């Protein structure tokens, strides 16, 4: 068989072939298949965006849950919340396009205040971030004045401004376990708070975790029944989940971790099948980067992450609309920076 990739002098055709080699392994979330025709349709747009990035000294940060044509077509950095926040902190760019959700872009603006930070779609919220305001945290702090306030990064800038330390799914257990305070006010994820309590018991660490009432609309839906059914049908199946799932689900899976940690686990584990109890974008990334692995269905779509598109990214780069630009008050931004910097300090 001839395995040499076809070559062409036509830049659009060359781009379509580059995209096809990656996207052939996945489907769009709309069910559309990637083939040479559909790759030819988007190739002029990915070329235009990649050219605009050079002209505007811009970088595109892409969370693993966004559509693969965005991640692999135009993304400069791809990964979990911690990695992307770290990239935003180090970015030496005039423009940062954040293809993820708004709280992630706000975090990038806090870490790179001189950059123009834009989001493709201002409505790309997050059920966790939208569950709690800075005012709500102030009220909780008045009730628990001795507690250390720990915010999961999936929260707004004004919640971060009220917090002592920020955490992500990749460092939450170690950071909370190492804090000197016994009482912890953990916001805004109630289910992650349950998982922290359980982990602290496993580590024989005595702390009181108080939480607010947010949940992730994607991860709260996975169930133990789904896990039991899948294990019966697919012997040898390995199941991974995110710590935003319920503690019952967390206890029943083979591996619990951040999106990047879950990817690493699957890539380094031999099993006939995998079930990913997380957003479907992660299954797509693995199908592209590790096509030998088999996944059974069961993942779910995050409606907010899926609002990002190549067209909206092009428009945000070319001439951002006011609502696409992240603006934060200087004082609020400085106060929010404190808890994120503390996370970087403690995570290292």
Smallest distance from the beta carbon of 98 to ligand 13P, in angstroms? 13
CB atoms within 10 A of CB 220: 18
Size of the site for ligand SF4 (CB under 6 A): 13
* Residues with Cβ within 8 Å of residue 116, at least 6 apart in sequence: 94, 95, 96, 320, 325
Contact between 108 and ligand SF4 per CB under 6 A: no
Q: To the nearest whole angstrom, how small is the minimum distance from the Cβ of residue 4 to ligand SF4? A: 40
When asked if residue 246 is in the footprint of ligand SF4 (CB under 6 A), the reply is no
Residue 34 near residue 26 (C-beta atoms within 8 A): yes
Gap between the Cα atoms of 134 and 118, Å rounded: 23
From the list ligand SF4, ligand 13P, none, partner contacted by residue 259 (C-beta under 5 to 8 A by kind) = ligand 13P
302 binds ligand SF4 (CB under 6 A): yes
Extract the tokens encoding 250.
Answer: 């967390």
**Binding of residue 128 to ligand SF4 (CB under 6 A):** yes
Distance CA 165, CA 149 (A): 7
Neighbouring C-alpha atoms within 13 Å toward the C-beta of 131: 18
- Interface positions with ligand 13P (CB under 6 A): 80-81, 154, 168-169, 216, 242, 244, 258-259
The interface mask with ligand SF4, positions 214-233, x = CB under 6 A, is --xxx---------------
Answer for the pair 233, 246: CB distance below 8 angstroms, yes or no. no
Contact yes or no for 119/107 (Cβ under 8 A): no
In the complex, the smallest distance separating the C-beta of residue 87 from ligand SF4, rounded to whole angstroms, is 18
In whole angstroms, how close is the CB of 112 to ligand 13P at the nearest point? 18
The residue within the footprint of ligand SF4, chosen from 107, 127, 171, 284 (CB under 6 A), is: 127
User: Which listed option, ligand 13P, ligand SF4, none, makes contact with residue 81 (CB within 5 to 8 Å by class)?
Assistant: ligand 13P
The footprint of ligand SF4 on residues 52-91 (CB under 6 A) is none
279 is an interface residue for ligand SF4 by CB under 6 A: yes
Q: Which is nearer to ligand SF4, 275 or 305 (CB)?
A: 305
Q: Does 171 bind ligand SF4 (CB under 6 A)?
A: no
List alpha helices for the chain, DSSP H: 11-23, 36-56, 68-74, 81-90, 102-111, 134-143, 157-161, 172-178, 190-202, 224-233, 247-252, 259-267, 280-289, 310-318, 330-347
Q: Is 187 in the site for ligand SF4 (CB under 6 A)?
A: no
State the first-to-last Cα distance of the chain, in angstroms, to the nearest integer: 49
* 290 neighbors 27 (Cβ within 8 angstroms): no
How far apart CA 185 and CA 132 sit, in angstroms, is 13
Under the binding rule (CB under 6 A), the answer on residue 262 touching ligand SF4 is: no
Residue ranges that bind ligand SF4, judged by CB under 6 A = 101, 126-128, 154, 216-218, 244, 279, 302, 304-305
């Amino acid at each position: 068989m001839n395995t040499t990739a076809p070559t062409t002098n036509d830049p659009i055709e060359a781009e379509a072939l580059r995209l096809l080699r990656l996207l052939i392994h996945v489907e769009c979330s709309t069910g559309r298949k990637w083939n040479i025709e559909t790759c030819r349709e988007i190739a002029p747009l990915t070329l235009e965006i990649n050219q605009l990035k050079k002209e505007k000294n811009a970088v595109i940060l892409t969370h693993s849950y966004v559509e693969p044509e965005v991640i692999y077509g135009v993304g400069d950095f791809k990964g979990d919340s911690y990695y992307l926040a770290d990239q935003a902190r180090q970015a030496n760019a005039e423009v940062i396009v954040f293809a993820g959700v708004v709280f992630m872009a706000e975090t990038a603006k806090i870490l790179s205040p001189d950059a123009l930070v834009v989001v493709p779609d201002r409505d790309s919220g997050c059920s966790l971030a939208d569950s709690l305001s800075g005012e709500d945290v102030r009220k909780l702090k008045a009730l628990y004045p001795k507690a250390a306030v720990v915010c999961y990064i999936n929260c707004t800038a004004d919640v971060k401004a009220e917090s002592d330390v920020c955490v992500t799914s990749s460092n939450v257990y170690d950071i909370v376990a190492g804090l000197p305070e016994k009482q912890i006010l953990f916001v805004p994820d109630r289910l992650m708070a349950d998982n922290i309590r359980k982990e602290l018991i496993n580590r024989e660490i005595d702390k009181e975790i108080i939480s607010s009432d947010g949940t992730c609309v994607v991860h709260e839906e996975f169930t133990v029944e789904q896990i039991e059914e899948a294990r019966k049908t697919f012997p040898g199946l390995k199941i991974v989940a995110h710590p935003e799932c319920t503690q019952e689900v967390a206890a029943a899976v083979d591996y619990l971790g951040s999106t990047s940690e879950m990817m690493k686990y699957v890539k380094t584990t031999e099993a006939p099948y995998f079930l990913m109890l997380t957003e479907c974008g992660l299954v797509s990334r693995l199908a592209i980067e590790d096509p030998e692995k088999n996944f059974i269905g069961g993942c779910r779509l995050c409606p907010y992450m899926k609002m990002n598109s190549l067209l909206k990214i092009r428009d945000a780069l070319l001439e951002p609309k006011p609502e696409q630009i992240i603006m934060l008050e200087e004082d609020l931004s400085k106060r929010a920076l404190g808890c994120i910097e503390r996370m970087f300090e403690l995570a290292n």
